[in-house]
């Protein structure tokens, strides 16, 4: 079954894409939760008109995402964490919320949902790798450092 996505859905597609999914997934989850609409002929015509009108906006958004990716790749982000007295182990672990806050302090605004930390859990001081999906065509990997507060 073909649907038109209204919002980005992980492992399915991005907003305004026409994708094929299983019928039950579309009828029971995507459409009722407002993430997609059925791709009928009239919905396709409306979608085509909307895409034509948004074409110039999309180009500007893409260039903004590329600029942000360049700034993010060359940034030196430090995430502060509380550590034990004699060790490099931190209390708790580092997550995308803490990373997004540190990026915001560095002047880079990225939503936490766009961030993925490569390691499973970060519990020690050091340098780690993360990625950010800023646009459907723009993804960037960057390093960040966990330091003691």
Over the stretch 110-124, which tens digit does the pLDDT of each residue have? 999 999 998 888 888
Residue 47: closest CA among 102, 6, 101:
6
Mean pLDDT of 22-42: 96
pLDDT of residue 149: 81
pLDDT of residue 18: 95
Give every CB contact of residue 145 below 8 A, 6+ residues apart in sequence: 76, 77, 78, 79, 126, 127, 128
Least confident of 57-61, 66-70, 85-89: 85-89
pLDDT of residue 58: 82
pLDDT of residue 27: 96
Mean pLDDT of 96-120: 91
To the question of pTM greater than 0.85 for the whole model, the response is no
Q: Where in the chain is the domain with CATH 3.40.5.10?
A: 2-63
Residue 100 has pLDDT above 90, yes or no: yes
The listed CATH number (3.40.50.920, 1.10.3720.10, 3.40.50.720, 3.10.430.100) that belongs to domain 69-148: 3.10.430.100
Q: Where in the chain is the domain with CATH 3.10.430.100?
A: 69-148
Name which CATH class applies to 2-63: alpha beta
Rg (C-alpha) for the chain, rounded Å, is: 20
User: Binning pLDDT at 50, 70 and 90, where does residue 87 land?
Assistant: confident
Mean pLDDT of 35-51: 94
Residue 37 has pLDDT above 80, yes or no: yes
Residue 69 has pLDDT above 80, yes or no: yes
d(Cα 57, Cα 42) in Å, to the nearest integer? Answer: 24
């Amino acid at each position: 079954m073909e649907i038109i996505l209204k919002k980005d859905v992980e492992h399915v597609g991005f907003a305004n894409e026409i994708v094929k999914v299983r019928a039950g997934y579309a009828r029971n989850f995507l459409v009722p939760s407002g993430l997609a609409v059925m791709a009928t002929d009239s919905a396709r015509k409306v979608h085509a008109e909307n895409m034509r009108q948004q074409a110039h906006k999309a180009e500007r958004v893409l260039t903004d995402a590329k600029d942000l990716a360049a700034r993010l790749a060359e940034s030196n982000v430090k995430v502060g964490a509380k550590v034990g007295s004699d060790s490099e182990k931190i209390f708790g672990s580092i997550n995308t919320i803490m990373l997004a806050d540190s990026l915001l302090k560095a002047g880079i605004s990225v939503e936490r949902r766009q961030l993925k930390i490569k390691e499973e859990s970060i519990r020690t001081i050091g340098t780690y790798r993360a990625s950010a999906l800023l646009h459907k065509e723009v993804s960037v990997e960057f390093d960040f450092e966990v330091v003691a507060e």
